[in-house]
């Protein structure tokens, strides 16, 4: 015990350069605005396990903020023909997605009995209303205009979502990159209405097939394609873990937001974002 105390004193005295006076300097907590972040977990029920529920969802929203930040930059990089920068950003998106997937493992420690103790406190609030998740879908090219109605209560947020809804998605700019590389893509796809969900196209499939058959010649497009596959793969894994966690905690009850719950979550597992990139695997 005495030896441990002696080591602790030595460790402290050997770090004399550590700053301790922050009278006029910014602290770690001030830089991260921890006063705002750590005071935002307000349990409406007072139940112990509601803290877990709030923190998991807040952490997921923070990770989604980073995903949107990186995907927006990746889209811009592809538009500017800087595919290597886009790949770096999309690789970070995939790593971030893995963190969100693991969050479900923590939430699944919540039992049905515990959740029922505070579920009524949520009212009609639901993850279905997550506007950042909608923006992720928009960036991936899945556009559903009716979801914008959810956000009409807040004009500023509605305008932000509408702007994201009307922008080209990640796959739109990737397809344009195929065209810029000299691969033939139908004009109606290049000039399509980006507010509509993308539907697969033969010319796009043929272009990606050429890339995969000639990876040395089209190396950057080949790498970009694999990054897109990573992102869709991880997104579907996130959705699957979401569905199984909900089934584990509430079974087949209706969701707080009015959706069919597990039934709805199973249905969205069939959505595809980059269909040709999956189809060509059978054909190669």
Tell me the domains of the chain and their CATH numbers. 45-281 (1.20.58.480)
Binding residues are 53-57, 115, 119, 242, 256
Binding residues for heme are 242
Mean pLDDT value of segment 77-81:
97
For residue 90, name the pLDDT band (cuts at 50, 70, 90): very high
Binding residues for substrate are 53-57, 115, 119, 256
pLDDT at 248: 87
pLDDT at 219: 97
Q: Out of 49-53, 63-67, 113-117, pick the least confident.
A: 113-117
b/e map of 263-276 (b: 16 or more CB within 10 Å)?
A: ebbeeeeeebbbbb
CA-to-CA distance for 136 and 65, rounded, in angstroms?
Answer: 9
Count other Cβ atoms within 10 Å, centred on residue 27: 10
CA-to-CA dists, residue 89 to 15, 60, 150, 213, 227, angstroms: 37, 19, 30, 25, 10
Question: Is pLDDT of 2 > 80?
Answer: no
pLDDT at 257: 57
> Which of 47-51, 141-145, 172-176 is predicted most confidently?
172-176
Mean pLDDT value of segment 166-186:
97
Count other Cβ atoms within 10 Å, centred on residue 44: 13
CA-to-CA dists, residue 194 to 165, 198, 209, angstroms: 8, 8, 23
pLDDT at 225: 98
Q: What are phi and psi for residue 169, nearest 5 degrees? A: -90, 180
Cα three-residue angle 80-82-85, rounded to 5 degrees: 125
Question: Is pLDDT of 1 > 60?
Answer: no
For residue 256, name the pLDDT band (cuts at 50, 70, 90): low
CA-to-CA distance for 138 and 172, rounded, in angstroms?
Answer: 11
| Of residues 151 and 2, more confidently modeled | 151
Return the percentage of the chain with pLDDT > 70, whole number: 90
The alpha carbon of 29 is separated from its chain's Cα centroid by a whole number of angstroms, namely: 26
Nearest to 70 by CA among 171, 139, 158: 139
Question: Is pLDDT of 232 > 90?
Answer: yes
Question: Is pLDDT of 66 > 90?
Answer: yes
pLDDT at 10: 55
Whole-structure pTM value: 0.87
Dihedral of CA 127/131/136/140: which sign? positive
């Amino acid at each position: 015990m005495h030896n441990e105390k002696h080591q602790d004193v030595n460790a402290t005295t050997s770090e004399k350069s550590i700053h301790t006076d922050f009278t006029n300097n910014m602290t770690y907590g001030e830089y991260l605005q921890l006063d705002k972040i750590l005071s935002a977990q307000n349990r409406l029920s007072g139940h112990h396990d509601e803290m877990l529920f709030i923190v998991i969802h807040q952490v997921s929203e923070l990770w989604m903020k980073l995903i949107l930040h990186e995907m927006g930059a990746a889209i811009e990089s592809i538009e500017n023909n800087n595919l290597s920068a886009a790949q770096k950003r999309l690789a970070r998106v995939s790593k971030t997605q893995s963190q969100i997937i693991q969050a479900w493992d923590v939430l699944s420690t919540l039992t049905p009995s515990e959740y029922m103790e505070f579920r009524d406190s949520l009212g009609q609030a639901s993850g279905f209303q997550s506007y950042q998740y909608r923006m992720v879908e928009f960036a991936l090219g899945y556009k559903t205009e009716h979801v914008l109605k959810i956000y009409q209560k807040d004009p500023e947020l509605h305008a932000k979502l509408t702007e994201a809804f009307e922008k080209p998605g990640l796959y739109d700019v990737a397809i344009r990159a195929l065209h810029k590389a000299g691969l033939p893509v139908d004009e109606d796809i290049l000039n399509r209405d980006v507010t509509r969900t993308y539907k697969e196209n033969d010319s796009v499939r043929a272009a990606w097939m050429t890339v995969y058959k000639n990876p040395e010649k089209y190396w950057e497009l080949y790498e970009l394609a694999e990054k897109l596959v990573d992102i869709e793969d991880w997104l579907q894994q996130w959705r699957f873990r979401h569905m199984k966690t909900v089934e584990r905690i509430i079974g087949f009850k209706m969701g707080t937001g009015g959706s069919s719950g597990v039934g709805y979550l199973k249905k969205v597992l069939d959505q595809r974002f980059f269909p040709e990139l999956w189809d060509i695997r059978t054909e190669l």
